[in-house]
Amino acid sequence: MKKNLPILLALAALLVFGVTRYDHFASAYNITSFWRYNSMFALISVGMAFVIITGGIDLSVGAVAALASVVAALASSHGGVVAVLAGAGAGLAVGVLNGLVITHMRILPFIVTLATSLGAHGMALLLGHNDAVSIAAAADSSFANFGQGDLFGLPIPGIVAAVAAVLGWLALRSTRFGRHALAIGGSEEASRLMGLNVDRTLVAVYALSGLLAGLAGAILAAQFGAGQPNEGIGWELFAISAVVLGGTLLTGGQGSIAMTIAGVALLGLVFNLLNFENGLGFISLSAYWQSVIRGVFLLLVIVLQARVLKKRVAVTKLAH
């Protein structure tokens, strides 16, 4: 609990600051809009958490989400359910490809997912003819509702992300799949010696990451009414930052889905506060500053993690 205290205190401080400084910060509209928009980042971050827990990395999630948004928009003429399944299926296909290449060809995840990121982005541009792909008019009421609608007064994308987060939390804590992922991150070689099916688990982890990125892409298309082939740039940075902020070690073997969601909320709150500050007119920051802030957050947390790991190594050496 102590290691999670800083991020929880930071979240609480930002919330108090927002409520006291801005009139409509705690309004129902801002809360639902925040939840609706950040649902996409929550989805890709849950998938990224599992990947990083195994000691890997997935740099393709942003491009996969963009590709899935185009595929979903193209399939929307067949109905909302088909569009969502098509987008999720496109993400799943790329995720399985990542996992198979990594496990069967023994190529570093960084290289493989960088390559599939470029491929997915190129495919999105090809399918969309280098432009946004509008969802079919007949799907306006069904597919668009998946991204823009509410259920019991709650945003549907937020509900989808919440369900994914709860299932991910349960999977990591209470299933063999979660235990195997943690073991592989601790030591892949030791996991193989213990008889674990490492390759199958890794393929499943990357498939999960791709599936959730595909689902995020379907939400993207439904929210904006069009597939966005040029969207998703930098999403992988957001996901990695949220996962690392949540205490998951980049070296693998340790992580938390709940704290990953806290990391998503923290980053989302920072950008939300900046939007409110822009509205007051005291500062004027463009959307491009989001990428700068994500990079700074990621660098700071990586430096802090490196220091903590060095201290642990030093303590272990002294103990022996």
The Cα–Cα gap between 225 and 21 comes to: 33
The Cα–Cα gap between 304 and 248 comes to: 12
Over residues 181-204, the mean pLDDT reads 92
The Cα–Cα gap between 235 and 161 comes to: 16
Question: Which of 52-56, 138-142, 155-159, 252-256 comes out lowest in average pLDDT?
Answer: 138-142
Confidence of residue 239 (pLDDT cuts 50, 70, 90): very high
Q: Tell me: pLDDT of 213 over 70.
A: yes
Query: Residue 4 has which token pair?
Result: 């999670």
The Cα–Cα gap between 318 and 109 comes to: 34
Q: Of residues 109 and 5, which shows the higher confidence score?
A: 109
What would the pLDDT profile of 16-63 be if each residue is shown by its tens digit? Answer: 999 998 888 888 889 999 999 999 999 999 999 999 999 999 999 999
Helix 156-174 to helix 28-53 angle (10° resolution) is 30
Over residues 240-264, the mean pLDDT reads 89
Over residues 235-259, the mean pLDDT reads 88
Residue by residue, DSSP assigns 189-249 as HHHHHTT--HHHHHHHHHHHHHHHHHHHHHHHHHHHTEE-TT--TTHHHHHHHHHHHTT--
What would the pLDDT profile of 71-113 be if each residue is shown by its tens digit? Answer: 999 998 888 899 999 999 999 999 999 999 999 999 999 999 9
Over residues 245-252, the mean pLDDT reads 85
What would the pLDDT profile of 256-312 be if each residue is shown by its tens digit? Answer: 999 999 999 998 998 888 888 776 656 666 666 766 776 777 777 777 767 766 766
Over residues 205-225, the mean pLDDT reads 95
C-alpha distance across the termini of the chain, in Å: 27
* Per-residue pLDDT at 181: 94
Q: Coil, strand, or helix at residue 72? A: helix
Q: Tell me: pLDDT of 156 over 90.
A: yes
The torsion of the CA quartet 66, 69, 73, 74, rounded to 10 degrees, works out to: 60
* Per-residue pLDDT at 131: 85
Q: How far is CA 262 from CA 104, 256, 294, in A?
A: 35, 10, 15
Residue by residue, DSSP assigns 133-201 as EEPPGGGTTTHHHHHH-EETTEEHHHHHHHHHHHHHHHHHHHSHHHHHHHHHHH-HHHHHHTT--HHHH
Cβ-based neighbour number of residue 187 at 10 Å: 14
* Per-residue pLDDT at 253: 85
* Per-residue pLDDT at 281: 59
